Amino acid sequence: MSSKKQSKNANRKHHGKAPHGYGGIRPAKGLGQNFLIDEGVIEEIAEGSGAAEDALVIEIGPGAGALTIPLAERSGYLAAIEIDENLIEPLRVKTFGMDNVEIIHADILAVNLDELIESRLSEYGLKNVRVVGNLPYYITTPIIMKLLETAHGIDSITVMMQKEVGDRIAAEPGTRAAGAITYPVYYHASVRKIADVPRECFYPAPKVDSVVLRLDIREKPAAETKNTDLMFKCVKAGFSQRRKTLLNSLSAMEGMDKETINSALERAGIDQSRRAETLTLTEFAKIADILQEA
Ligand code: SAM
């Protein structure tokens, strides 16, 4: 897709005022409120999210509702969770008359998602669960991890994030683009890019460009291990000192020493001078399984 198409509204000058349709809403900076104003991007996200008549869609941070209406038009039922009390009434007004929309005033990190998902699926006879969010950048990672690690029944997560974070998340494990976040995401989901979103597509424009990724939850995790926590501890230790050799970075883990790591790497057939970013998820799983027995 050309960036011309993406940002067909992007060159408008707003002179600090909210664009038409925002009903005088003043974006709250502290809540990461950068509202989408590019119709092309809004359509791409709604279309790419998997929202459909047999789906329960959970929208995180609906803001002024840019995505809420196009998502609701496609979905069986839409639950939109917004933390900012000032936006609840405008959202209810905007979605008035749409009987498949529920606006929930809550912090997504405090919501019992399992309960929400179970009750709405059975009440409305829906089959799929699609999560969609244009999140504040500072909580992107904790929210994605909460969704991946604790929620059940989610089929896909379509999420806007800062481009640099997106590049890490979408990277293949074992490549230079990989980071610590790459591995847990890859373990749970396959990742693809839905859209590149230049900063001008928002009001107000943030300082960085964004990307929208779709994470499709795997039926089975991408690697087998006896100890998932230990595997991700190894990933974290490896990447917290990514320029160091595995022998040095993994020895810094609590309760570990060079001798234990040296022999574990030897048993796993992994050269101790390699760096974390060269390891596949399966190799981290192998190390964790050997350390678990040690
Ligand atoms: N989805 C809208 C759009 O695309 O124009 C708004 C996006 S804005 C980047 C992020 C939204 O998330 C804001 O409306 C903000 O108030 C809301 N938000 C921030 N933290 C939240 C949280 N912990 N739980 C739910 N919503 C949150």
Centroid of ligand 1 to alpha carbon of 161 (angstroms): 12
C-beta 184 within 6 A of ligand 1: no
Amino acid at 264: A
Q: Is the CB of residue 176 less than 8 Å from the CB of residue 150?
A: no
Rounded mean pLDDT, 9-25? 52
CATH 1.10.8.100 domain position(s) in the chain: 228-293
Strand partners, 190: 216
Q: Is the CB of residue 212 less than 8 Å from the CB of residue 44?
A: yes
Q: Which of 169, 174, 179 is nearest to 211 (CA)?
A: 169
Which atom of ligand 1 lies at the shortest distance from residue 36's CA?
A: 5
Rounded mean pLDDT, 156-179? 96
User: Helix or strand or coil: residue 264?
Assistant: helix
Q: Judge whether residue 10 has pLDDT over 50.
A: no
138: confidence class by pLDDT, cuts 50, 70, 90: confident
| pTM for this prediction | 0.90
Given this model, what pLDDT does residue 8 score? 42
Tokens (6 digits) for 15: 């002179």
CATH 3.40.50.150 domain position(s) in the chain: 3-217
Given this model, what pLDDT does residue 20 score? 56
Mean pLDDT in the chain?
92
Given this model, what pLDDT does residue 21 score? 55
- CATH architecture entry for 3-217: 3-Layer(aba) Sandwich (3.40)
At a CB cut-off of 8 Å and minimum separation 6, what does 249 contact?
237, 238, 239, 240, 241, 242, 275, 276
Distance, in Å, from the CA atom of 98 to the CA atom of 114, rounded to the nearest integer, reads 24
Given this model, what pLDDT does residue 79 score? 98
Given this model, what pLDDT does residue 19 score? 56
Rounded mean pLDDT, 34-61? 97
Q: Is the CB of residue 152 less than 8 Å from the CB of residue 166?
A: no
Given this model, what pLDDT does residue 2 score? 41
Distance, in Å, from the CA atom of 89 to the CA atom of 81, rounded to the nearest integer, reads 13
Question: How do residues 189-245 score in pLDDT, each as one tens digit?
Answer: 999 999 999 999 999 999 999 999 999 999 999 999 999 999 999 999 999 998 999
Q: Judge whether residue 180 has pLDDT over 60.
A: yes
- Topology given in CATH for the domain delimited by 228-293: Helicase, Ruva Protein; domain 3 (1.10.8)
Question: How do residues 75-125 score in pLDDT, each as one tens digit?
Answer: 999 999 999 999 999 999 999 999 999 999 999 999 999 999 999 999 999
Strand partners, 134: 160
32: confidence class by pLDDT, cuts 50, 70, 90: confident
Q: Which of 50, 87, 51 is nearest to 69 (CA)?
A: 51
Given this model, what pLDDT does residue 36 score? 95
Q: Is residue 13 packed enough to be buried (19+ CB in 10 Å), middle (13-18) or exposed (0-12)?
A: exposed
C-beta 35 within 6 A of ligand 1: yes
Q: Phi and psi for 85 in degrees, rounded to 5?
A: -55, -35
Given this model, what pLDDT does residue 182 score? 97
Given this model, what pLDDT does residue 11 score? 42
Supply the residue whose CA is at minimum distance from atom 18 of ligand 1: 61
How close are the terminal C-alpha atoms of the chain, in Å? 51
Q: Judge whether residue 4 has pLDDT over 90.
A: no
Centroid of ligand 1 to alpha carbon of 253 (angstroms): 36
